[in-house]
Amino acid sequence: MRRIGMLTSGGDCQALNATMRGVAKVLYNQIPDVEILGFKEGYKGLISSDYRKMKPEDFSGILTIGGTILGSSRQPFKKMRVIEEDGLDKVAAMKETYKKLDLECLIVLGGNGSQKTANLLSEEGLHIISLPKTIDNDIWGTDMTFGFQSAVDIATQAIDCIHTTASSHGRVFIVEIMGHKVGWLTLHAGIASGADVILIPEIPYRMEFILDALKRRQKSGKHFSILAVAEGAVSAEDMLLSRKERKKRRDMMGFPSVSYEIGHEIEKATGQEVRITVPGHTQRGGAPDAYDRFISSRLGAKAGQMVVAKEYGRMAAFDGFKIISVPLKEAAGRLKCVDPEDDTIKEAKAMGICFGDE
């Protein structure tokens, strides 16, 4: 009997089930005596030994279903080694569960924080195979994460819907896009939806350039404008402050997020009506799109093949269109940011999209 553990950790996204299905199909097809144990709510289930024995039927019919059949939770990496009031040694507990259940390896589907914990467990001697999950697309070592494409679709649709109202009313609309510390989602959805201004954390903005871009549109007879603003967008002035200081300053001014501050500045400077839309967690919800189903099936299948080959301590990844695996210790803890010099940015600027830096 080869017993394999599986868990989904951190914020959910659209293709978690599709990815697990890919893994399971390979395992059931290629290992005659395999048993899969699914841990509930991510590392929480591994810590408390809360799991269920999965059957092949559990992985059937889930290709198109969002969320995760195992449940998920955020267990911050920085607290993994901290013994809190309950006196629980979380790392020891996870190792104990793994040993007690006689697992051959553990498959972790997770984002950046979860990859760090996966690497920690790998360094503690557990056999780990990980899969890059996140709508943010910010995991180092892979050109693409699953969840990203579906979120791009939703953010794009949100901006598309705003477009018609912005045009009817001649208003400025700001759509705030998720992405945490990086701008992949905003960049892709912004270009796909024809946003006039795209603001991402990797390119600090100056209000004067945004206002110039809005003026240029007015002058050319376009009485509405759409700004796609990443939740982590930051002004050149605010770059001098720490994240905490930035938040404190914004809180004091009564702005719930960067978009509200930018909106206020635009109204003050132009007198134009500004509206803010925050699609929020809708970007992580619903069914995975076709492309996400395709790439998550490939990533899942790769992880399954890695189990068969006993290729541990590694993360399945995309190198262009090729599936590879990279060492977990290299991928974990490194953020993949948008390169401001990337051709995508140059092409967008050539089309007249303002990034707030010129």
**Which residue numbers are catalytic?**
136
Identify residues 262-291 at the interface with ligand F6P (CB under 6 A).
284
Q: CA 101 from chain center: how many Å?
A: 31
If the CB atoms of residues 12 and 58 are measured against ligand F6P, the closer one turns out to be 12
Closest distance to ligand F6P from the beta carbon of 328 (Å): 19
DSSP string, 91-135: HHHHHHHHHHTT-SEEEEEE-HHHHHHHHHHHHTT--EEEEEB-T
* Type of residue at 297: S
* 289 and 14 Cβ atoms separated by less than 8 Å: yes
Q: Is 136 annotated as a binding residue?
A: yes
Pairing of β 34-39 and β 51-53: antiparallel
Task: Report whether 179 belongs to an annotated binding site.
Answer: yes
DSSP string for residues in 327-353: EHHHHTT-B-PPPTTSHHHHHHHHTT-
- Contact letters for ligand F6P, residues 230-249 (x by CB under 6 A): -x------------------
**Is residue 217 near ligand F6P by the rule CB under 6 A?**
no
One of 27, 37, 178, 332 touching ligand F6P (CB under 6 A): 178
Give Cα 16 to chain centroid, integer Å.
Answer: 12
Q: Which is nearer to ligand F6P, 22 or 232 (CB)?
A: 232
Q: How far is Cα 136 from Cα 144, in angstroms, rounded to an integer?
A: 10
Q: Pick between residue 25 and residue 74 the one whose CB is nearest to ligand F6P.
A: 74
Q: Report strand pairing: 274-277 vs 322-327.
A: unpaired
Compute CA distances 311 → 25, 106, 178, 246, whole Å.
Answer: 18, 12, 34, 43
Task: Judge whether 165 is annotated as a binding position.
Answer: no
- Does 11 engage in binding with ligand F6P (CB under 6 A)? yes
Indicate the residue among 74 and 246 with the shorter CB distance to ligand F6P. Answer: 74
Report whether 284 belongs to an annotated binding site: yes
Residue indicated by tokens 């994240």: 243
Look at the block and give the residue holding tokens 């001649």.
170
Among 117, 134, 156, 297, binds ligand F6P (CB under 6 A): 134
**End-to-end Cα distance, the chain:** 62
If the CB atoms of residues 59 and 146 are measured against ligand F6P, the closer one turns out to be 146
Among 35, 136, 196, 261, contact with ligand F6P (rule: CB under 6 A): 136
Q: Interacting stretch for ligand F6P, rule CB under 6 A, among 80-88, 130-138, 163-171, 297-305? A: 130-138
User: Residue 156 annotated as binding?
Assistant: no
**Residues lying near ligand F6P in the complex (CB under 6 A):** 11, 74, 111, 134-136, 178-180, 231, 284
